[in-house]
Every structure is written in structure tokens, then in C-alpha cells.
Amino acid sequence: MGLLKERFKTERHNPRKGAKDILKYIGPGLLVTVGFIDPGNWASNMAAGSDYGYKLLWMVTLSTIMLIILQHNVAHLGIVTGDCLSEAASKHLKSWASRSILVTAVLAAVSTALAEILGGAIALNMLFRIPMKLGAVLILALVLWMLFSNSYRKLEKLIIGFVSIIGFAFLYELTIIDVSWSQAVHGWFSVSIPRGSLPIVMSVLGAVVMPHNLFLHSEIIQSREWNREDEKIIRTQLKFEFADTLISMVIGWAINSAMIILAASAFFTYRIQVTELEQAQHLLTPLLGNGAAVVFGIALLFSGISSTTTAGMAGGSIFAGIFHEPYDIKDFHTRVGVAGILGFATLLIFFIGDPFKGLIYSQMLLSIQLPITVFVQLYLTASEKVMGKFRNSLLDNILLWAIALIITVLNVLLFLSFL
């Protein structure tokens, strides 16, 4: 039995509805947030802001709304069934179908990890002039040490600290730059797809709504205590989980928005096109001073380390689920999943010529796999056999189907844009 589930088996917790209990529940959502403020997001958001100003902020808003619905729904699966998305797919789908689907999810996890490790390596190069490939190996070694030598609870606290550092870093950046808040507000709520922007729109979507995060959330939500035999307790915990998800996703929305706003204010205003993250840092020095450039690099480094850690956890969960097992870092299949996915992603970095384009296209690959994961999630959470009386309501199904169709249509438009 997985370490995250061990507590459920041995303890019975009767949650109250006080603010103190809700605060104790906050945590899993913030680990998911790390996944969509990762280096892939930085590349997508810098490109969006420098090329199109504030016009693509609406995509962050739309993606975050989708994310809240999807993450709450998949956490719902973990709370009610005690299975993560990968385990549930293996248990309730035919073997050939579940394995085919989960193999694509493993590939998506590799794509995710590539972006995270590459981002951390870029940050090391920015701050300490460490060569990119050596930096990637150093990030890999650090993250593997963190995953293999720390409990989930310790990792959760570390990553929440990293998210705080990233958030304060962007808050600092925005206080020293001239932002057109009227344009930002208009961009958040006005849909606009400028000519040639569709690949960036898709990369922003892929960078926010990420398949590996759906697998991760359904797993780590089980680190909290509950009694699945008591319907009242389940319903209370679903409310706690929604509060955790909502707060965490809004934090992620704010940080992603800050990235685009920074790029729009610093670069688009002066018609400077950003083609790599190192360029963004160098350009910030004459515009905002050396302190802003250093803060940018530090935030990117913490983003790379924390998101690589959660990508490894997600990869281990997906791989273990293929064998009908939960995530357990002491288990062989989880270890193979974590080390194999992160190791292969690092190897691929040695063959990438343009790191910035590598970040952009890794996010696009995630958006291509995403509909597969979403349709599987929808099928499982709508099933009475899987969820019992906690299956999706009619409204849940309508919203989830709408999100799945929007994502699918955007993917078709992406392919057409290359023809």
C-alpha cells in the first residue's frame, strides 16, 4: 500500500468546518500549482507578452477556469475511490485501452519533465554561468535526491516555500515596472486571437492545463485524512478540497498573469521580441536594473526545481498505476517511473539545439495529449460503477464535455495552422 494511503488505512479523521481545519487541508492544490508556473509557462508567457502585449491574458483566465473544474473533478475521484487516475484507468478500462492511454501519459510526463529540467538548467546558466547540459544533470541529481530521501509531507512544505518565493519575485518585478492595468484588465476578459498567435495560444493552454497534474492531484489528495465509509465526512472533505484547489489555482493565475504582464510592459512596449529566457533576463537589466534580472533568475531556478519534483511524482504515479499500484517511493515500479522519466527527459536535453523552442513545443505536446486524459477522467468520474452516488452531476458532465471539446477544437486549429 502506498505511503500516501497508509494514513487513511490507520487513521480516521472527523474534519470540522472551521477555518483552522481548512487551512490544514491546504497543500495538494499548491503542488499542482507548481506544474503550471513551471519553466514551460515562462517560455510561453514571455512569448505571449513580448509578441502580443496584454492581448493573450484571456487565455490564462480561460485555462485557469478549466483547470479549477478539471482538478476538482479528478481530486473528487481520488477522495471517493482511494485510487489515483492511473490506478482507476487500469482497474476500470480494458487492459489494452488503459495501457495505451497511460503510455501516452508517460510520454506527456517526459515532455513535462524536459521543460522543467531545461528551465532549471537555463536558470543555473543565467545565475552562475554553468553550461546548460551540466546544469540539467545537476537539477536531475538534486531532484532525485529530494524525491528519494524525503517524505511527502517534507516535500509539500518545501514546494509551498518555493511557490511563495516565485510569487514574491514577480510581485517585486511588477512594483518596479510601468504596467497598463486598464489594458491588462481588458486582456483578462476580452478574447482575441491575433494573426499568427495560435501556436502561442496553444502553448499557453498546454502550459496551464497539464495532463500530468491531473494524475498528480488524484494521488496526492490522498495524503489527507478521511474516512471513505462516512458519506458526511466525504462531502465535507470535498468542500475542503475545493477550497484548496480554488485558492491554489487563483495563486497560479496571478503568477502566470504576472509573467505576461511583465513581458508586455518590458518588451512589447518597446517592440522587443523575446526568443529565449536568457534574452529576457539580459533585457531586464538595462530596463529595470540588475536586481530585477537576478530576481528573475532566482525565481526561474526555484520554478525549475519544484516543478521537476512534482513532474517526477506524477510520472511515478502514472507508471505505478499501469501495474495497479499507488505511488510509493519505496516501491520498485514507482522508483522506475520517477527515475526513468526524469532520466530520459534529461537525456533528450542533450539533443536540443534551441532551448527556448524546446520549452514552447514541449507545452504544445502536452496540449495534444491533454484531451485523451480529460476524456478518460470524464468517463471514470461519470460512472456510477466507479463513483457510486458521488458520480458527476449533469452540470459537471456538461462543463467537462465543454472543456474537452474546447481543447479538442483548439488542437485541430493548431494542426491546421501548420498546413
Tell me the average confidence (pLDDT) per consecutive run of 10 residues in the chain, 419 residues long. 47 56 81 84 86 94 92 94 96 95 93 89 92 95 94 89 91 90 95 86 76 94 74 85 93 94 89 74 70 88 94 96 94 97 94 72 74 93 95 94 84 64
Nearest-angstrom CA–CA distance, 111 and 210 = 11
What is the CA 324 to chain-centroid distance, rounded? 24
Task: State the pLDDT at residue 224.
Answer: 77
DSSP 264-277: HHHTGGGTPPP-SH
One of 3.40.50.300, 2.40.50.100, 1.20.1740.10, 3.40.50.800 is the CATH number of 3-417, namely 1.20.1740.10
For residue 180, give the H/E element and its range: none
Task: State the pLDDT at residue 292.
Answer: 82
Show me where the domains of the chain are located. 3-417
User: In this structure, what C-alpha cell is assigned to residue 284?
Assistant: 531586464
Task: State the pLDDT at residue 4.
Answer: 59
Task: State the pLDDT at residue 140.
Answer: 97
Q: Which of 102, 89, 253 is nearest to 187 (CA)?
A: 253
- The answer to whether the beta carbons of residues 300 and 169 sit under 8 Å apart is no
Task: State the pLDDT at residue 136.
Answer: 96
Task: State the pLDDT at residue 5.
Answer: 53
Query: What's the CA angle centered on 124, arms 118 and 126, to 5 degrees?
Result: 105
Q: Which of 56, 40, 36 is nearest to 261 (CA)?
A: 56
CB count within 10 Å of CB 58 equals: 19
Q: Which of 203, 183, 162 is nearest to 301 (CA)?
A: 162
Task: Report the amino acid identity of residue 9.
Answer: K
Task: State the pLDDT at residue 10.
Answer: 38
Nearest-angstrom CA–CA distance, 30 and 282 = 30
- The answer to whether the beta carbons of residues 396 and 68 sit under 8 Å apart is no
Nearest-angstrom CA–CA distance, 85 and 216 = 8
